[in-house]
Every structure is written in C-alpha cells, then in structure tokens.
Chains A and B, each alone.
Chain A
C-alpha cells in the first residue's frame, strides 16, 4: 500500500498554518474558576503521608489504611481521643475481662452493614477476629491478635473472646487498632474471604465514597449510622508524602489538618496562618544508634561504652530535630507501661568519661562506619555523631542509603553502627519484639542476644498487673543499654496544624481519629 502523504487532508502548509493559529489561540487569556477552599461546605480535607493500600483489615499496611478503616468499620472499642492512652466503647455496649483469658462482650443493636448484609452480630466479630489468626488468611497483622484462641458466640449479639494465655496488649493494640475492625461475615464470604481496595460492606459513621489512587480518598456520611452523628459531610484524605508540600497546601487554605515538619515548628509556634493552631504531640517512634555486637571491630564493650558516652543527644535534638523533640530514655515512649524516667547513661555527652573508657579499651586509631537513611534528619544526626566521636579520636564514616537498601541491612554482616528508627504501637510488647534473640538477622540488627531479655519479652505480655509489667519492661531496656549496643536518641515528635474551623480528635501520639473530628 502506498501512502501519499502530500495528498492527506492536511498538507504541510496547512499544518504550519494550523500550528501557528493554535499557538495564537493558546496564547489567549483563559479565565479560571474560583479555588476550592478547605472546610467549605462541610468538607474536611486532611493529609495522609501515603495512599491507601488495602480495605481489608487483615491486610492493612498500618496507619494510612487504619485512618480509613476506623471511619468505615467499627470495633468493639476505639481509642479515646486525648493526651492519655485510654479506650472507649464503640460497637460494644459492654465489654468485660472476666478472667485473664476470657473477655465477654455485648454488641449494640443499632449497627448494620451496607449492601444488605444485615445487622452486626457476634458471628461477625467471631469471623473478623478468627480470620486474622487463621493460617489460611496469611495476615501480616496476626501478631497483633496475640494468643487468640477463638470467639464463643453466646447470643445474637453476645460472645466471649477466648485467649490461649493472658495477653495484656489486647486492650491497647488488638481490639482498638487494626485487627479490631469488625467486618461483615456475609460480605467477606460472598467475596471469597478477601477484599482488596473496594469495600465489601461498611458499618461506620462514614462510607468510602471514592478512591482515586495517589490523588484522594473521599469518605461521606453513612446515612444509616445510628450512633452519634459525625461532624462532617465529607472527609477528603489526600496522600501527600512531602511535609513541605503539605504545609504550603495548608497555608494556601487547601488542607484543614496536616502533620508538619519538625523544622517548621518554631515558625508555627510564632503563629499559624489563617487562624490555625499548632498542636505538639509526642510520638511513639523511637530512634537510636545501634552497634553490631557481632562485628569484629565492636567486640570490645569499653569501646561501645565510650561511644555511648561520646554521643550528645541534646545536641542531636537541636541540630537534627530543630529542638522540637526530646531525648528518649529507651524504646518505650512516655505514657506507655515500661517507660523509664531516665536512662542509665545521661543524654548529655561526657567526653572525659568517654575518653577514659576508650583508653581502658586499649583500642587505638578506631575507624567505624555508620549506616543511615537518606533523610535530612538522619544525615544531620549522623554528622553530629561524627563530630562528637571525633572529639575522643574515633573516626566515623557516614554511609547514606536509600530506604530500600537501608531496610535490607538485616543480613549485612559488615554493618557496624546504624542510626535507626522503628515505628510503634501503643504497647511495650511491640517494642521489645524486635530485639529478641529470635530476631537476630531479621530486625535485631545489633545482634543483641540476652536470655533475660528474651524471658522478659515472652512473659511481660501475659502480665496483667500494669505496675509489675512496667518494671519488667524497664529492666528489659536496662539490659539493652548495659550491653553497650544502644544509644537511645528520641521518640521524635508529632507536630500538627489544623485550621480554625476544625476540632481535631487525636490519639496521644497524634494519630488522627477522623471519625471523631469536630467542627469549631
């Protein structure tokens, strides 16, 4: 077939003429409509640091998914907004621990599922909880449910949660967090037992109206919700990973609520634009400097102790955290059982003692490598550590890694020092879990292995006396510090801003409980 280009409907001259005309037309001024303003017309616009991954609680990836799940599903109990860790009833009208392994509950009679899946019953609770621990489900969130045996259904809306052994985190993680979301047995079974990104049946005060990947998730009021009416007609959750962009959007009036960067806290303390308010909450995250106990260069405990004493934590707080975070005493944040009032080694550096310990170690010309994430906070902290260790004659090489490579460091046998940060749920059980002997080569990068520590971890979660439990976790952190493998840095901070028209409802660590957000 021969194509005669010059006989095409548009000739070369025509094309050039057209292109010139198009250019001229495009140059004409275009009038744009008015801007969308946040909090307008009952719409709350909040920022999330990432996009939703799964609508199924069994496969929730954490905070991002949970912000949505907590609004469209119900749990027996929910976290209570405030500065102290506490819970309040949600789908349960009554819940009671009758003995260390049995928890009785009764459901409200006014909660139903969308899509014609009927009222919420104890069978739904049984299905939701048991599927999390079932091998077949392969839920990554299974550890949150701990030693759940089963749920006994004793009536249409009554039942008993039965545990294989006592499990204190049931009240702090299992029931009020990800695994506590109750889904519809009917809907899930009809869908083959698994949901991906489209809700099968919802029951919360909000319904997920739409999801535009990487753009926004829209929640709207559930018209059939019989509980306390939610304040907002619509909630738009916008995935914005860059905090600076979120701050600009907030200042432009396009967001009502967002976490802000630590570097902006000082500026917002002087005043938040548009009549907004800055909220400063502590965080549960914990950051520390770890030392690989298996590395030949770090076998000498005196050397490790010298490093511990030479690191000036307040200086790191000023330089890397802009003075917006406080030094930590361990891996368990204030407000949680097991938080220590002070660490064994004071946060301030003691260079004299560090030099003494280094001399006692007999090590000379010490050169070490510090691995860290390619985030400004960590690289700055690494530079401060590099400078302070230099004061006692230790040369530090900082090795900056992108997140994928950094988080694959578990099997890096050459790992020496590492600046690390783990996330946390509101129970000490979650913190110690990563430092047991079992975790060596996985998440215990320091290769810290201590029999007493392991014993504490494996027994403290069963301890139902909060005071005894706290003492156990405090001892666990003492053991970590005494090993010389850890210099605890901070729990960071959760600074947030909200617009004048919003009354935020937050967990004590600043996590947004969107269903309880109010209007000013």
Chain B
C-alpha cells in the first residue's frame, strides 16, 4: 500500500508539473501585450518598462519558466500587479469559497444519488425504478447554467427562499448562500451517481454472498443497506475524485452567475487582465486540488478494495 501511495503521488506531482508548465506557456501565447493591458492606456513607457522587467517578460520564455519555478520552490507566488498584495494571500482568501461550494455539491449530490440509485436497484423494473431512471437522465442532461438561472428565478426572486448573490457572513448565512449554487452544479451529479450506484448495486445483489445472506433469512433492507450498498458505492469514491475537476470548472460559472467570490472568478478576471502572477497562482492551486483529490480517491479506493492495489 505504501509503495502504491508513493507511486500514485509521484504521478500526481508529474501531472501537476506538466499542467502548470502547459498553462504557463499557454497564457504567454495568448495575443496582447500583457503590460499594456495591465497598466491601461495612460501608463508611461517608463512604467511599462519597469513592470516588464519586474515580471521578467523581457527574458526568454525558458528563463521566465525557470524564475517561476525557482520562486515557487521558495513558496513565493509573486505579487499582484494591481493591488501589490501577495498572490498567495489573494488565492488562499478565495480558495475556501470554492472548496465550500465543491464540497457542498458533492455531499448533497452523492447523498441523493446514492439513495436514488440504491432504491432503484432494490426495486428493479418497477415504476419507481423507471421513474428514478428518467429523473437521473433528466438531471444528467440538464445544463448546469440553465439550472442555475432557473433556480435563481424560482427560489431567489419568486419564492425568495434563498439568497441570490454573494457568499454570506457567518456559518448559517454562508450555508444559506451555498444552497442554490451547490444545487445548480450538483444536480447533474445526482443523476450520474444514481445511475452508477444502480448498476453497481444490481451487480452486487447478484453475487453469492448476497444469496447466502438471503438464505440466512436476513431482511432485504439489511441486505441492501449493509451488505450490498457498502460495496456498490466503491465506484462512487473514484468518480467523486475525478468529479472534483468537473466541479472546479462548474464552479467558475456558478461564481459568476451567483456573484460569489472564488478561484474560478479570480482566474477569469486575471486572464482577462493578463494578470500573470494571479493566473499562475490560481492555476497552480486548482490543479493541485484536482490532482490531489484524484490521487486521494485512488488511494481510498485501493484501501477499500485490495484488488485495486494489485492491478498495476
């Protein structure tokens, strides 16, 4: 297991390195003089030259990359061009908002998805199973931005049950502000997880240990909840790990539609203004988040299912 963990995190580090380097090169390939865009029309040539030197934009690209990684190794992500604040500070002030949103989405979608899938599997080919299937497919098919706008109009404007914008102050207010965005980006995951759990459950329910349990006279509820579901949700762990990446990208539009602070909005604003230090800081953290979450999902999966460890 330890060897597997070391290998998995080694791979994660490599992925992180490749992704961040690719982003570094891509942002520099985008047309437009970053210094002119950053400083605006009224900056003097002297000021432009000064910022160019500060950002090492006058250096060859390989040297810029070396400087970036050199600073990174010292824990220095740079300084925001506009506000003069530390990029680390800026990114880490936005990160919790994105994490709250992602975790809230995962928790509610996994909970409902597992319940829906398990119930459908326990009652195969019944009306409820078909209804659950239809619901699941509808959820998967519903574009998140449409769900976001509709939920805003229904629950924030018409019914006024939940707030429309912002992140809130204090625990309960923050939780309240999470409801609609988490609902919007988590809905398609409900359907996806439900279908996954149903398929997995049906397979497990057909296995010999379940037949043995039934032969021992255990109740169907106990068999489903205790013996089948615990095994059937294994694939969900992996899916959630990978899903972090999708949820991170969904968080971008959720943060815009719901005017929430967060990493996604920070990245979009920074790319538009060619604020390289912030772009790189945000990309580094979000990529690390994705890579670590998938690696953790693999490790948990390997821990729960020893077969995964040996499947090298």
Bound Cα distance from A244 to B251, whole angstroms:
18
Tell me whether A267 is interfacial, beta carbon within 8 Å.
no
B266-303 interface code vs A (CB 8 A; 1 in, 0 out): 10010111100000000000000000000000001001
Instruction: Tell me whether A215 and B261 are in contact in the complex, defined as CB-CB below 8 angstroms, given that A138-B46, A141-B42, A248-B157 are known contacts.
Output: yes
Most chain-B Cβ atoms within 10 A of its Cβ — which of A212, A213, A214, A442? A214
Q: Which residue on chain A has the smallest CB distance to residue B94?
A: A214
- Residues from chain B with a CB closer than 8 A to the CB of A32 are 162, 172, 175-176, 179
Q: Are B90 and A213 in contact (CB under 8 A)?
A: yes
Knowing A140-B39, A404-B272, say if A245 contacts B256 (CB, 8 Å).
yes
CB within 8 Å for A248 and B42 given contacts A23-B115, A53-B82: no
Query: Closest chain A residue to B107 by CB distance?
Result: A26
When chains A and B are docked, how far (Å) is the Cα of A241 from the Cα of B39? 20
**A306 adjacent to chain B (CB < 8 Å):** no
Contact B94–A248 (Cβ < 8 Å): no
Q: Which residue of B lies closest to A32 (CB)?
A: B176
Q: Flag the segment in B12-20, B30-38, B122-130 that touches A.
A: B30-38
**Across the interface, do A254 and B163 meet the contact criterion of CB distance under 8 Å?**
yes
Which residue of chain B has the shortest Cβ distance to A239 in the bound complex? B259
Report yes or no: A5 in contact with B36, Cβ–Cβ below 8 A: no
Contact with A along B103-138 (1 / 0, CB 8 A): 000011011101100000000000000000000000
A408–B31 touching, CB < 8 Å: yes
What is the CA–CA distance of A436 and B6 in the complex, to the nearest angstrom?
Answer: 64
Stretch at the interface among A9-17, A181-189, A345-353: A9-17
Q: Which of B15-53 contact A (CB under 8 A)?
A: 30-34, 36-37, 39-44, 46-47, 50
B213 within 8 A of A: no
Decide if A405 touches B163 in the complex (CB within 8 Å).
no
A249 x B230 contact (CB < 8 A): no
Q: Binary interface profile of B, 174-217, with partner A (CB < 8 Å = 1, else 0)?
A: 01100100000000000000000000000000000000000000
Q: Decide yes or no whether B57 CB sits under 8 A from chain A.
A: no
In the complex, the answer to whether B42 meets A13 with C-beta atoms within 8 Å is no
Output the least CB separation between B36 and chain A (Å): 7
Interface size class of B (residues with CB under 8 A): 35 or more
Cα-based distance from A473 to B34 in the complex (angstroms): 33
Assembly CA distance A51 to B255 (angstroms): 14
Query: In residues 196-214 of chain A, which contact B (Cβ within 8 Å)?
Result: 196-197, 212-214
Q: At the interface, yes or no: B153 with Cβ under 8 Å from chain A?
A: yes
Q: Quick check: B84 and A196 within 8 Å, CB to CB? A: yes
Contact assessment for B233 and A19 in the assembled complex, using a CB-CB cutoff below 8 Å:
yes
CB pair A53–B83 under 8 Å, yes or no, is: yes
Known: A16-B304, A26-B107. A197 touches B84 (CB 8 A): yes
Q: How far is the CB of B226 from chain A (nearest CB, A)?
A: 8
B222 to chain A, nearest CB (A): 13
Determine the chain B residues whose CB is within 8 A of the CB of A520 once the complex forms: none
Tell me the smallest distance from the CB of B9 to a CB of chain A, in Å: 13
Query: Across the interface, which residues of A come within 8 angstroms of B230, CB to CB?
Result: 13, 16-17, 20
- Residues of B near A252 (CB, < 8 A) are 152, 156-157, 160, 163-165
Judge whether A98 is part of the interface by a CB distance below 8 angstroms.
Answer: no
Which A residues touch B262, using CB under 8 A? 214
Contact A248 B153 (CB under 8 A): yes
A251 in contact (CB, < 8 A): yes
Interchain CB contact under 8 A, A405 and B30: yes
Interface residue total, chain A, C-beta cutoff 8 A: 61
Whether the Cβ atoms of A240 and B259 lie closer than 8 Å is yes
Judging by beta carbons under 8 Å apart, are A404 and B32 in contact? yes
B231-257 vs A, CB cutoff 8 Å, 1 = contact: the mask equals 001000000000000000000000011
CB atoms of A35 and B176 under 8 A apart: yes
A378-403 interface bits toward B, Cβ cutoff 8 Å, 1 = contact, 0 = none: 00000000000000000000000011
Nearest-neighbour CB distance to chain B for A415, whole angstroms, equals 13
Task: Give the residues in chain A near B114, CB-CB below 8 Å.
Answer: 23
The yes or no answer to A116 lying at the interface (CB within 8 A) is no
- Check B274 against A404 for contact (C-beta < 8 Å): yes
User: Is there an interface contact between B111 and A27, defined as CB atoms closer than 8 Å?
Assistant: yes
Give the shortest distance, in Å, between B93 (CB) and chain A (any CB): 6
User: Is B144 an interface position by the 8 A CB rule?
Assistant: no
| Chain A hits for B256, CB < 8 A | 241-242, 245
CB distance from A397 to the nearest CB of B (A): 18
Check: A287 CB closer than 8 A to any chain B CB.
Answer: no
Measured CB to CB, the closest approach of chain B to A399, in angstroms, equals 12
Residues from chain B with Cβ under 8 Å of A216 in the complex:
166
Q: Among A5, A54, A238, find the residue whose CB has the most chain B CB atoms closer than 10 A.
A: A5
Given A16-B233, A404-B37, A405-B31; A33-B173 close (CB under 8 Å)? yes
Contact between B42 and A140 (Cβ–Cβ < 8 Å)?
A: yes
Measured between C-beta atoms, what is the minimum distance from B61 to chain A in Å? 18
Instruction: Please measure, in the bound complex, the distance between the C-alpha atom of A157 and the C-alpha atom of B300, giving whole angstroms.
Output: 71
| Complex Cα spacing A32 to B303, Å | 37
A54:B82 contact, CB within 8 angstroms: yes
| A404 & B46 in contact (Cβ 8 Å cutoff) | no
Complex contacts, A238 vs chain B, CB 8 Å: 165-166, 259
Instruction: Given A12-B303, A16-B230, A213-B261, check contact A254 B153 (CB 8 Å).
Output: no
Residues of B within 8 A of A12 (CB): 303-304
Instruction: Find the B residue at minimum CB distance from A16.
Output: B230
Residue A475 lies at the interface, judged by CB distance under 8 Å to chain B: no
Hey, which chain B residues are within 8 Å of A85, CB to CB? Answer: none
Interchain CB contact (< 8 A) of B157 among A13, A33, A251, A410: A251
- Report how far A261 CA is from B62 CA in the complex, Å: 44
What's the Cα separation between A253 and B163 when bound, in Å?
9
- Nearest CB on A from B122, distance (A): 14
**Chain A residue at smallest Cβ distance from B93:** A213
A140 adjacent to B152 (CB under 8 Å) = no
In the complex, whether A268 has a CB less than 8 A from a CB of chain B is no
Is A3 an interface residue, CB under 8 A from the partner? yes
The reply on B63 being an interface residue by CB < 8 A is: no
Instruction: State in angstroms the CA–CA spacing of A194 and B300 once bound together.
Output: 51
Contacts of A138 in B (CB 8 A): 44, 46-47, 50
Residues of chain A within 8 A of B42, CB atoms compared: 140-143
Knowing A12-B303, A143-B42 are in contact, say whether A5-B1 is a contact too (CB < 8 A). Answer: yes
Q: Which A residue sits closest to B159, measured CB to CB?
A: A252
Per the bound structure, the CA–CA distance linking A253 and B261 in Å amounts to: 20
Interface status of B68 (Cβ within 8 A of chain A): no
Measured CB to CB, the closest approach of chain A to B249, in angstroms, equals 18
B83–A197 contact, CB under 8 A?
A: yes
Q: Nearest-CB distance from B265 to chain A (Å)?
A: 6
Task: Given A138-B47, A242-B259, decide whether A248 and B83 contact each other with a Cβ distance below 8 A.
Answer: no
- Residues on A with C-beta less than 8 A from B218 are none
Q: List 22 A-B contacts (CB under 8 A).
A: A13-B230, A32-B162, A33-B176, A35-B160, A35-B162, A36-B173, A51-B269, A138-B47, A196-B84, A197-B85, A213-B90, A214-B262, A241-B256, A242-B256, A245-B256, A245-B258, A246-B259, A248-B165, A252-B164, A255-B165, A402-B272, A407-B36
Instruction: Give 8 nearest A-B pairs by CB, closest first.
Output: A408-B32, A214-B261, A16-B230, A252-B164, A404-B32, A405-B31, A196-B84, A215-B261
Q: A142-B44, A197-B83, A239-B259 are in contact. List 13 more A-B contacts (CB 8 A).
A: A2-B2, A17-B230, A33-B173, A140-B40, A140-B47, A141-B42, A196-B85, A214-B94, A215-B167, A248-B152, A254-B164, A404-B34, A404-B273
